[in-house]
Structure 1
Amino acid sequence: MARNELRPVVKLRSMAGTGYTYVTRKNRRNDPDRMILRKYDPVARRHVDFREER
């Protein structure tokens, strides 16, 4: 069974420059632009913005 392309897998990379990433899914219909989420970066040991990579 094929995955639906309405909710693709996206990689979120830390904007702190540590190279740490999260992997999540997003709804393209609700969020057509790049996602920016504030999440915990264990390398920097603080909450930073994570931006969607393409």
Structure 2
Amino acid sequence: MIKLRSTAGTGYTYVTRKNRRNDPDRLTLSKYDPIIRRHVLFREDR
């Protein structure tokens, strides 16, 4: 289980799971941030 934190600085997070064998480095996904109401990059937070 990992947290994906918004790069827009709103503090909004998604919780998801990842396969460490396929993705050993930090994950970045483009997802919807409802606070600013647009899609932004979400980075893996440790």
- TM-based fold match above 0.5: yes
- State the alpha-carbon separation in 2 of the partners of residues 18 and 10 from structure 1: 18
Where do 5+ consecutive residues of structure 1 fail to align? 1-8
What is the root-mean-square deviation in Å for CA atoms of aligned residues?
Answer: 0.3
Please, what TM-score do these two structures have when normalized by structure 2? Answer: 0.99
Structure of greater Rg: 1
1:35 aligns with 2:27: yes
Which 4+ residue blocks in structure 1 deviate beyond 3 angstroms? none
Aligned-pair identity in percent equals 78
- AA aligned to 1:24 is T
Higher relative contact order (Cα pairs below 8 Å, separated by 6+ residues): 2
Which amino acid in the other structure matches residue 47 of structure 1? H
> Distance between the aligned counterparts of 1:19 and 1:39, measured in 2?
14
For residues 39 and 18 of structure 1, what CA distance do their matches in structure 2 show? 13
Give the corresponding residue for 2:9: 17
Q: In the aligned structure 1, how far is the partner of 2:38 from the partner of 2:27?
A: 19
> Where in structure 2 are there 5+ consecutive unaligned residues?
none
